[in-house]
Amino acid sequence: MAIELNQPALRNARALVRDGKVVKDERDDWSEAAPTADEENAFIEREGWTEYSHWHLGIDKGENRETKQAYSFPFGDFRKVHRSGVISGESRAGQHDHTEIRDALKDLLDLIDAEE
Give residue-wise pLDDT tens across range 9-65. 999 999 999 999 999 998 889 999 999 999 999 999 999 999 999 999 999 999 999
Interval 63-101: pLDDT, tens: 999 999 999 999 999 999 999 999 999 999 999 999 999
15: three-class secondary structure by DSSP: helix
What are the domain boundaries of the chain?
Answer: 3-114
- Dihedral of alpha carbons 47, 6, 87, 113, sign: negative
Q: Positive or negative CA dihedral for 89, 91, 96, 101?
A: positive
pTM listed for this prediction = 0.93
